[in-house]
Amino acid sequence: MPVLQLQHVEAAAGDVLSRGGPLVAYDVAAATASYAAGGALTVERPGLQLVWSLVDSAAPDAVLSAEIDLQGEPHLVRCDRVDFPADGVAFLHTHQGPGIRCLVDGLFAVETQGTRHEIDRLGAWFEAGPDPVYAEVRGDQPAAFVRVMILPQRLLGTPSIRYVRDEDRDRPKSQRYTIYVDEPLT
C-alpha cells in the first residue's frame, strides 16, 4: 500500500526534490506550491519546503507518514491552504479522503477520535477522512495550515468537506481556502 509522507526540507535554489512518486512542494516563505506527477521538482528559491510525496515506504526523516488506500475509483491530489482568524473554528466535519496537514502560522487544536491534539507551528497531523474532526485556533493570533489530501477524482474542483451536524452547514464559516494543486493522480 502506498504511503503519503511529509518532510521538511531546507533547500537551495536549483536543488532537485526527487521522491520517486508524485510530490507536492510548498514554499513556506513564498506561500506557493508546485506539483510533479513524475516525482521531481526543481526548487526556485531557497528556504523551507514542505514536501508531501506518495512513496512505497516512508523516509527516515519523514515528519509524518500514513498508508493510503488507492483501490477503487480514480483519485486526485489536492494541496490547499486553510487560513483562520484568531477566533477561527472548523465545525465538526469529515472529508472524503485522507490527508496530512502542516501548520504554517499560529497555534491550532484538533479534536478527533476522542483526543485533542495541540499543534504548534510546523507541527503535522493526519486526518483519515471519514473520522469527524473539530478544530480551533489557539491563542489570539490567526492560524493557517497547508494540507495534501488524496480524494476521489469526482471531487475535482469541488469541496471535500462534509459537516456532521445539520445546523453547522448553514452557519458562517471563518476559514478561507487557497487551492494550489487539484490534479488527477496518475
Q: Supply the pLDDT for residue 111.
A: 96
8 A C-beta contact, residue 8 and residue 28? no
Q: pLDDT value at position 186?
A: 78
pLDDT for the residue numbered 69: 93
Q: DSSP for 53-120?
A: EEESS--TT-SEEEE----SS-EEEEEEEEEE-TT-EEEEEEESS-EEEEEEESEEEEEETTEEEEE-
How much is the pLDDT for 171? 92
Q: Which helix (H) or strand (E) holds 47?
A: strand 47-55
Going residue by residue through the chain, which has 186 residues, state the pLDDT in tens, using 9 for 90 and above: 999 999 999 999 999 999 988 999 999 999 999 999 998 999 999 999 999 999 999 999 999 999 999 998 999 999 999 999 999 999 999 999 999 999 999 999 999 988 999 999 999 999 998 999 999 999 999 999 999 999 999 999 999 999 999 999 999 999 999 999 999 997
**What pLDDT sits at residue 54?**
96
pLDDT attached to residue 70: 93
**What is the reported pLDDT for 143?**
98
Q: Is 153 left (phi over 0), alpha (psi -120 to 50) or beta?
A: alpha
| pLDDT value at residue 20 | 84
In sequence order, what are the beta bridge partners of 89? 136
